[in-house]
A = this chain, B = another copy of it.
Amino acid sequence: MLLSKTSEYGIRAMLHLAGVGGDVYLPVKRISKDLDISFHFLTKIFQQLTRAELVDSYRGPNGGVRLRCEARSIAVKDILVALEGDDLFTKCVLGLPECGEGHPCPLHEHWARSRMQIETMFGGKSLIDLGAELRSGGFRLRATGEWTEPTK
């Protein structure tokens, strides 16, 4: 599989936040229900995203998480890097430590191109853009069942 569950969940949750928009704090509980993701697991993921300063969190009633102002223009790539590091965008596809121009693996050149394309694809659109597309409809962030508009 390309991405870990952590990344899949993290990206879906962040896109969900971007889709909801606004400055309101959304409880993780709510997000976990909206997207059908394990609440406790999602909590851990948001703790990472909070430490990475991609989201603000607030405790207590009316608390929750929201996209950090300074991070509204981030891309999916930034979520990935926060959750898993940048291995996908830097490392040799065959796992060879010093793979590079000097000692390339047989796939080095080919993979370099693919990698760049992947980086562009994950880095090309901002969460704002993706959130807007999400609101415009036709897109989906959960497995099955109909969409329930968050109440707050």
Contacts and interface: CB of A to CB of B under 8 A. Distances in A.
B2 A88 contact: yes
Interface string A20-34: 000000000000000
Contacts of A98: 143-144
Contact of A103 (B12, B93, B121, B140): B140
B130 A106 contact: yes
Copies in the complex: 2
Contacts of A121: 107, 110-111, 113-114
A129 to B, nearest CB: 9
A125 B114 CA distance: 14
A15 interface: yes
A60 interface: no
Interface in A86-126: 87-88, 91, 93-99, 103-107, 110-111, 113-114, 117-118, 121, 124-125
Interface of A: 1-3, 5, 8, 11-12, 15, 76, 87-88, 91, 93-99, 103-107, 110-111, 113-114, 117-118, 121, 124-125, 130, 133-134, 138-144
